[in-house]
Chain A
Amino acid sequence: MNRAGPYTIEIAGVTDAGRQRQRNEDAIGWDEHAAVAVLADGMGGHNAGEVAAELAVRSILEALVGRRPLIDPQGCGRAVRTAIEQANGLIHERSGTPGHAGMGTTVAVLCLEGEGVTLAHVGDSRIYRLRDGVLTPLTSDHSVVQELIDGGLLSQEEAGASVSRNYITRALGIEPTVEVELGSSVAAPGDLFLLCSDGLTDHVEAAGLRDLLSVDEALSARAAALVEAANRAGGSDNISVILVRLR
């Protein structure tokens, strides 16, 4: 029996440096029993991005795996928000030490409690849900181009080609506090959630994601196929995916 009550949870994930980068500044982690998955895409000079991403994943997982049983989904949302805010504080504090100035990281968190699904993100790491063959984005990037899309000034296609598509407007570790975006939904049997870094979505469009997620293969094989697709398309950034399936 796990935290997701009526469901059996299966989680698989892969993180890969991609084809252009020496280092992998992404980090991933999960706990099936606690029904939590965390993905982070770090940034900063030298190894600072790796430090920030690993710190985020480790501290958020620790906080959520040890959480007390909660009856209401709002409680889960509060716990996730607090865990992310604490991680922000840790990274920001650490960024005051030599070699770590200006480090930061995005984060995407998925957490289940009974039938309630809590999602949270900061930056341009995303969460999608595949249900009945339909892939739905559950997050909206904190980025300059997303603001322009929301304002009707830019199409999705133009955003993908924009010279400013790499600017994000929120990250963990940059300021003493951070604004976390929380979302929630109700789980259904067969739901498949995808958490991913922009190294995947820069290269593989939504239709491609859907097709690669829909194949009748083991979860780990599907995760590997997503990473391979992004690498075949150039692999210009680190690529990370976590798949969470409910049965």
Chain B
Amino acid sequence: MAKLVITLDGIPVRDFQLNVQRVSIGRKPGNAIRLDDATVSGEHAAILMGAPATITDLGSTNGTSVNGERIGKCELHHGDVVAIGRHRMKFVDEARQDLARTVMLKAGDPDEIGPAVLHVLSGPKAGQRLTLERERSAIGKPGAEVVVIAREARGYTLLPVRRGVDVRLNGIALGEKPAPLHDGDVLEVAGAMLQFRKEAC
């Protein structure tokens, strides 16, 4: 079951259980979620509960944003924040609450794990080599795909960062869980293809 956690100016107002197919949001009475805010249109936006859930702006005057970006229609995933007027609505998939559990990302000893590089196979920086010198290296571009490669005790790990962006590992979409990196793996992120290589020598 999913719900919207609604806040006004940062203060929680109420939770709305998303247990119907379509949820309308707007200023007029008759909306499932009625927002009493002059900057909200009468019929502002609608959420359709599918797999995945989506939100559509219904041609509102002041627009709808998801995670800070103005949208026409977009998918909703656990943790996404919808902004309409002064209200914020956090989409919470109650099966996914475990993300709240803090995990220590323990860095591995570089001498034990060994060095690694990324060979840029395509994109504007094709031919370059990026040495993964730090405990954590961020790859991507602001506002788009971002991933982190972490050097952990068990080896190098690819951490997804943003939900719903197209990052691929060996041609398969990276889910929301970290994935171990193996020598020769190919990563597609921010319009570039990168090959992960453990440096033997």
Contact = CB atoms under 8 A, between A and B. Distances in A.
B163 A162 contact: yes
Contacts of A62: none
Interface string A21-46: 00000000000000000000101000
B148 A144 contact: yes
Given A148-B138, A161-B163, A168-B105, A153 B7 contact: no
A155 B68 contact: yes
Nearest to A208: B10
A234 interface: yes
Interface string A210-243: 1110000000000000000110111011000000
Contact of A157 (B9, B67, B150): B67
B104 A148 contact: no
A145 B100 CA distance: 14
A246 interface: no
A204 interface: yes
B13 to A, nearest CB: 8
A20 B92 CA distance: 13
Contact of A153 (B100, B103, B138): B138
A208 B162 contact: no
- Of the candidates B92, B101, B177, the one having the most CB atoms from chain A within 10 angstroms of its own CB is B101
Contact of A208 (B11, B100, B135, B176): B11
Contacts of A148: 138, 146, 148, 161
Contact of B92 (A106, A153, A175, A234): A234
B97 A205 contact: no
Nearest to A106: B102
B160 A164 contact: yes
Interface in A94-122: 104, 106
B79 A161 contact: yes
Contact of A154 (B135, B146, B176): B146
Given A153-B142, A164-B160, A169-B136, A204 B99 contact: no
A181 interface: no
Given A153-B140, A162-B79, A167-B159, A233 B100 contact: no
A71 interface: no
A163 B77 CA distance: 10
A166 B99 contact: yes
Contacts of A210: 10
Contacts of B176: 163
A158 B67 contact: yes
B10 A204 contact: yes
Given A158-B67, A169-B136, 19 more contacts: A43-B101, A153-B146, A155-B142, A158-B68, A158-B162, A162-B163, A163-B160, A163-B161, A166-B99, A168-B104, A169-B107, A170-B104, A174-B104, A205-B88, A207-B10, A211-B10, A211-B11, A233-B90, A234-B92
Interface of A: 20, 41, 43, 104, 106, 123-124, 144-145, 147-148, 151-155, 157-158, 160-171, 174-175, 198-199, 202-212, 229-230, 232-234, 236-237
30 contacts: A20-B97, A43-B102, A144-B150, A144-B159, A144-B161, A148-B148, A148-B161, A153-B146, A154-B161, A157-B81, A161-B67, A161-B79, A162-B79, A162-B161, A163-B162, A164-B148, A166-B102, A167-B104, A167-B105, A170-B104, A199-B100, A203-B5, A203-B12, A204-B10, A208-B10, A210-B10, A229-B12, A230-B12, A233-B90, A234-B92
* Nearest 8 CB-CB pairings of A with B: A208-B10, A207-B10, A205-B10, A236-B100, A233-B12, A237-B100, A157-B68, A163-B176
